[in-house]
A = this chain, B = another copy of it.
Amino acid sequence: MASENAEKVDLSLNTVSDTKPKKEWINLSLRVLSFFATASATLIMALNKQTKTLVVATIGTTPLTITLTAKFLHTPAFIFFVIVNGIVSLYNLVVIAMDILGPHYDYKGLRLGLTAILDVMAMAVAASGDGAATFMAEVGRNGNSHAKWEKICDKFEAYCNRSGVALATSFLGIILLLVVTVMSITKLSKLNRI
């Protein structure tokens, strides 16, 4: 009981002096991770390409083949995914740079609020890209019998798997950005109550 009380006192002291820089470090680290996640997602999806040669007929003993290529440029949802993840990565990079350059670029304590607002926008845009790409990948995986859209992942297994990795990475990036945003808003709320 006594140690609990001591901890409480410690915590309240921390909020004023020590925890602030520490929390800012956590915040910055999460943003760096978020940047790497969305940047990886952008690259994995953008560089994802699979070429497959299929035998469509045999003339005598000579097989007649066609070569099909699957790449992100063939699917508007994936193009959107790459653009959106690229933008969010760049945005995160700018914020990280300004964080490291320090408080010189802060104008009357506006930066925290402004970053929170831009974070929200970045997250909404990234979420829409992820939603689009995920459901497009689902059609690629399962097809849609009602629309007579056949699945393509049986032909382009590696392409589909890499797209899945890009999606998972981007989701991770968004979740990290969400945590950063929640931390910013919590900080704004807390400063309020002090």
Contact = CB atoms under 8 A, between A and B. Distances in A.
Number of chain A interface residues as a range: 35 or more
Contact of A140 (B125, B129, B147): B147
Interface stretch (A33-41, A54-62, A69-77, A92-100): A69-77
- How many copies of this protein are present in the complex? 2
Interface in A56-93: 70, 74-77, 80
Given A123-B124, A125-B127, A135-B136, A113 B185 contact: yes
Q: Secondary structure at chain A's binding surface: helix, strand, loop or mixed?
A: helix
A110 interface: yes
Residue among A129, A148, A174, A192 with max Cβ neighbours from chain B (10 Å) = A192
A11 interface: no
Interface stretch (A2-10, A19-27, A43-51, A114-122): A114-122
The 7 closest A-B pairs by CB, nearest first: A113-B189, A128-B131, A74-B146, A131-B131, A77-B135, A131-B132, A132-B135
21 contacts: A70-B146, A77-B131, A77-B135, A80-B131, A80-B135, A112-B189, A113-B188, A113-B189, A114-B189, A120-B120, A120-B123, A120-B178, A123-B124, A125-B127, A130-B131, A132-B134, A133-B135, A148-B150, A149-B149, A185-B185, A191-B192
